[in-house]
Structure 1
Amino acid sequence: MFTTPRIENTPASPKRRGWASRSTRLTAVVAAAAIASLLSACATGTAGAADDGAEFPEAGSTIEWIVPSAAGAGNDILARIMAPAMGEDLGVNIKVVNKEGGNQVIGLNALASAKPDGLTLGFTNIPSIFGRYLDPSKQAGFDRESFAPVGSFALNDIVIGVNKDSPYTSTQELFDAVKASPGTITVGTDSRAGDDHVNLRTLEKELGLEFNIVHYNSGADKIAALVSGEVDFALGGVSSFIGQAKSGEINVLSVLSDVPSPFFPDVTTLNEQGFEVAPMSNNFAVSVPAGTPAAAVAALEAALQAATEDPDVVAALENAGTVPNWMPAADVATLWEEREATTKPIIAELIAGE
């Protein structure tokens, strides 16, 4: 297990939580139910309107975990790690269902429009989801109020990487080239107005840079372009880079975090390299449709937390290039609202400038 200290990106708790004992489980469920009831009320205007008091989940039921990307992609891998552990805890089968397309909008639409009975959940990763519904061109049928958070189980640090044959052996060399020839050094993103795009715009503003930004349809397409030499560099989550970095096809130049990544311990952070930028990371958050009964949300939250704290799951998440890090539903809701408020004007600026 990684021992690198992390600063948890949650308003309620400044440090990563430790392991929770099973004896605290009942208290957690009760507290989660109360919080979920409040979240449900905020999302729908009525607390627990669909809750008829029946036990959740019913024996023999199947829960669908919607993944808005292709089988084998990062989100899919993580869902297939988490789903069996959650299913075992709940005593039901959790089936992973891939609904890819439209820069994840198809899958997210399916999640938002699903029956709010607790039998459908899915990824609503922060901040990547913002580019899906804050960009009018994507014609999303959802927004933040379409969902009720269940929790977040892992973090994905952001890194900058180049092709193995790149002339740039350091971030300093890369950024010097950008400053010497503004608007010509190419960088790939996983979507227009997505988190990569927002993070790159933040770097441009904070460091006085101008990139030639090239948008792709997915993280996999972005990485393929980097490996082939189609773009000069790329920015994104560790989990997207780690496979090609291990194989030697990509060199990671810096980590945009407050501490070095446990996956690349020899790579220093951007701040350590002399570039002062606020840390960037992604939260792998899970939500259900707004209006889902509070008791169902609480049961799912408790199961998600238990899975996050399972040693076998922790090892699998780390092997997939993520840092296991539990954040409860209430904190995810607060984080979502706060980061949407800071990201929204950046996305509006990006759209207006294209």
Structure 2
Amino acid sequence: MRKTITSVSGAALLLISVAACGDASGSQEQGEASANYPEENLTMIVGYGPGGSTDVGARLMADALEDELGVNVTVENKEGAGGQVGLTAVANADCDGYTFGTANFPSAIVSVLDESRGATYDRESFAPIALQVVDPTAIVVAQDSPYDTIDDLLAAAEENPGDILYTTTGVASNEHFAMAAVEEATGAEFAPVHFPDGGGAPKTAFLGGEVEMYVANVSDVVEMTENGQGKVIGIMDSERSPFLPDVPTFTEAGHDVEISSSRGYAFPACAPEEAVTTISETMGTIMEDEEFQTKMKELGLAPSYKNAEEYAGYWTETEGTFETLFPLVREEGK
């Protein structure tokens, strides 16, 4: 029988209502950009708090945009509801092409799929600009764990269904979806321990021996493994991570599981096409720079640029993946 555990400190998913300065459905009148765009300073809305991986990557990009475009880029952190507060602000921003923001997957997708979240936006509310980071999901176990490989772990989970506990940062979080995908692909059964408030609680629980598995993005586990706080036994991607080159992927182990957290940028849907194109192409130029790539890698962020058109297609593809998995997550009530 499957078990679901929610941390005592967890709270229900936040329902938010934001007074809109426009129609977040994306039906605002299309803006127009000047021939010399951008002539004014830009605002980048980051839907997460200062110091996190999304914030540091976004600020790195903001600094580079200033150098390339010759205007200031002000970063505004609007955290809350797993990025939903920031996304709402982006969807409702002016149509002049001077305000854009971060769009993280799966949060930007799940907040729409989950009707209980009360999102006032949908996919059509945004004009994708560019993708910056793809951060695959990894599984970490204790250094002295009997599980040394993906198959070791799966065999134990099949023999003792629902007994092996793993961490998530909340119901319908990236980690939750990732393990639902593993279960669907392999038939193994695990039990989540949800920490809806996120932060360091999942890692603390793992290090304290309260759970057997710490599920997180590669960027979140590199340092802890270097410090001997756990061993990564598998990454949910088709190719090995440059940050953990010795760790095999689920694909190598014969399991079709590819789940990542990705970070990009979007304007409100009504932004001028010229603005979208200009910012997208400028980000592309920035991400071709070797020094910028080095800075990203030093932060544990794997550069993965897609332009506006490519990112739009990636958004649609990723939306389809999580839409397929969402009933599994909701059915399990995990």
TM-score greater than 0.5 by the shorter chain: yes
1:40 is aligned to none
Change (3 A) 1:223 1:68: farther
1:152 aligned to 122, 128, 131, which one?
Answer: 131
2:68 is aligned to 89
2:283 aligned to 304, 311, 321, which one?
Answer: 304
Cα distance in 1 between the residues matched to 2:297 and 2:152: 31
Cα distance in 2 between the residues matched to 1:307 and 1:219: 30
- Are residue 292 (structure 1) and residue 266 (structure 2) matched? no
1:49 is aligned to 30
- Are residue 258 (structure 1) and residue 221 (structure 2) matched? no
**1:44 Cα offset (Å):** 4.9
**1:318 Cα offset (Å):** 1.0
**Identity among equivalent pairs (%):** 31
1:37 is aligned to none
Secondary structure of 1:322's counterpart equals coil
Map of 1:133-282 to 2, 5 A cutoff? 133-216=112-195, 217-218=197-198, 220-272=200-252, 274-282=253-261
Deviations 1:102-149 (A, max 9, x none): 122112212211212222222212334222221122222211111100
Change (3 A) 1:140 1:230: farther
More deviation in 146-155 or 163-172?
Answer: 163-172
Cα distance in 1 between the residues matched to 2:213 and 2:254: 17
**1:52 Cα offset (Å):** 5.3
**1:344 Cα offset (Å):** 1.2
Secondary structure of 1:124's counterpart equals strand
Which of structure 1's runs of 4+ aligned residues deviate more than 6 A?
Answer: none
Cα distance in 2 between the residues matched to 1:151 and 1:309: 13
Deviations 1:244-272 (A, max 9, x none): 22222231111222221111111122232
Instruction: Please report the TM-score for the alignment, with normalisation by the length of structure 1.
Output: 0.80
Unaligned runs of 5+ residues in structure 1 are 1-42
Map of 1:19-58 to 2, 5 A cutoff? 44=26, 49-51=30-32, 53-58=34-39
Change (3 A) 1:67 1:220: farther
Deviations 1:14-63 (A, max 9, x none): xxxxxxxxxxxxxxxxxxxxxxxxxxxxx8579x83105352111xx332
2:301 is aligned to 322
**1:295 Cα offset (Å):** 1.2
Instruction: Please report the TM-score for the alignment, with normalisation by the length of structure 2.
Output: 0.85
1:331 is aligned to 310
How many residues are aligned here?
308
Paired residue type of 1:338: E
